[in-house]
Amino acid sequence: MTGSTYHTVFGSIDHFDKGGVQIIGDDVRNYAFSNCFEIASKARPYEKVVFGQNQIYVLETIRAEGVSPWYTCAHDEFALCMLGAPSPYLTIAFPNHAPNAGALLAINPDLTPKWTATLQEIFADGCGVLIPADAQPDGSLPDGGTDYNHCLVGAAHGVDPDTGQMPSNQISDQSTSSPVVLPDGAVLYGGFTYYNNYRGHLVKFDATGKLVASYDDGWDQTPAVWANASSYSILVKDNHYSNWSNNLVGPYDITQVDANLAKQWSYTATNTDSCQRATGGGLSCTSDHPQGFEWCVNAAAVDENGTVYANSEDGRAYAILQGGTVAQSRFLVQSLGAAYTPVTVDGQGRTYTMNGGVLTVVGK
């Protein structure tokens, strides 16, 4: 059998042909070999039985007969229902723990499907691009280090070192990212990737669901959009987390990119002081972040003039002008890590932001 030739054989619990071993010239992940119908025919009603594991995928069969008990699906589990009349239904569930199985779905106003775009293996910036391909088989590195986030010399160009496949954009349960529809009908989504030091990727699909651009940062954010003239710009937090290759941290930037996700400008966090409100309203501060603070905002805001509003782990809300200079900043309650709160600007120009569980409204 070749990779371009497929033959589908239908079956049921009452009538099935038990398969044998076949030599194939295709990716083995596309196939499953098991006697699932035979197993289901001998199982009790609604008894889940694992009948196959194909690398990282697990296959289970359930004989659906009579009235079922309540059942809660595990994470990322879906079912394929097979009816072989007059046989009872046979449900096959795929618990999907693969790091490359995400998708982005677009729906029309009448709730009918518009398009589906896969996030699987859509990048080519792994080994030899964002990750050095300089490790020897014994793990030694040219600089004498032992950090594992290096690819072997001769590794396939662009692959994810964790999977050996082209990198994928992951949808993480720990993320607050939401898709953003752009003025031209395109869609942005910020997904998660390990191999670029946890920075993730921002991807852009056009109005038909075609991948047209990506940016090397997207983790846990919902981008802001500034419509200007006949085009638009996109504002993202652009944090550089602890680097697996050299153990450096920072810089922590707010970055503006154009409609093609090409960088236009950045503002880098420079404050190094952790502060909190002291008795009497003053600030008590300690300089303990030499590389600055993360922009721990999951959704920045931008006004009609292009001024960007974002909060930082240093406990301040910032107003950043076009080009990347600070117009002003305001300390809120305390320096606090991993807040992941949004910023909103209302029709009167007032800014709404949270810090330490306190909602603050800053007047225009």
Residues 6 or more apart whose CB falls under 8 angstroms from that of 323 comprise 265
What pLDDT is stored for residue 330 in this prediction? 92
Please say whether the beta carbons of 265 and 258 come within 8 A. Answer: no
pLDDT at 96: 34
Burial class (CB in 10 A: 0-12, 13-18, 19+), 121: middle
Separation between Cα atoms, residue 201 and residue 167, nearest integer Å: 10
HEC string for the chain: CECCCCCCCCCCCCCCCCCCCCCCECCHHHCCCCCHHHHHHHCCCCCEEEEEEECCEEEEEEEECCCCCCCCCCCCEEEEEECCCCCCEEEEEEECCCCCCCEEEEECCCCCEEEEEECCCCCCCCECCCECEEECCCCCCCCCCCCCCCEECCCCCCCCCCCCCCCCCECCCCCCCCCEECCCCCEEEEEECCCCCCCCEEEEECCCCCEEEEECCCCCCCCEEEEECCEEEEEEEEECCCCCCCCCCCCEEEEEECCCCCEEEEEECCCCEEEEECCCCCEEEEECCCCCCCCCEEECEECCCCCEEEECCCCEEEEEECCCEEEEEEECCECCCCCCEECEECCCCCEEEEECCEEEEECC
Domain assignments of the chain as residue spans, ordered by start: 1-98
Rounded Cα–Cα distance for residues 250 and 124 (Å): 24
Give the pLDDT of residue 12.
73
**118, 68, 117, 125: which is closest to 91 by C-alpha?**
68
> Phi, psi at residue 30, to the nearest 5°?
-85, 0
For residue 39, the model assigns a pLDDT of: 85
Predicted local confidence at residue 8, as pLDDT: 56
Select from 328, 319, 333 the least CA-distant residue to 284: 333
Cα–Cα distances in angstroms (integers) from residue 291 to residues 241, 252, 268, 295, 323, in the given order: 11, 8, 10, 12, 21
Residues forming beta bridges with residue 296, ordered by sequence position: none
- Spell out the residues 6+ positions from residue 71 whose beta carbon is closer than 8 angstroms to its own: 46
Query: Is the CB of residue 183 less than 8 Å from the CB of residue 225?
Result: yes
For residue 17 the two structure tokens come to: 């042909």
Surface-to-core class of residue 315, CB atoms within 10 Å of its CB (0-12 exposed, 13-18 middle, 19+ buried): buried
Distance separating alpha carbons of residues 220 and 118, to the nearest angstrom? 19
pTM for this entry: 0.70
Segment 30-84, tens digit of pLDDT? 555 557 788 888 888 888 888 776 556 677 888 877 777 665 555 455 555 555 4
What integer pLDDT is reported at residue 234 of this predicted model?
96
Consecutive 10-residue averages of pLDDT for the chain (364 residues):
52 71 63 70 84 68 75 55 42 36 80 85 93 84 68 91 88 84 91 88 94 92 90 93 70 95 96 89 91 88 94 93 95 85 88 88 80
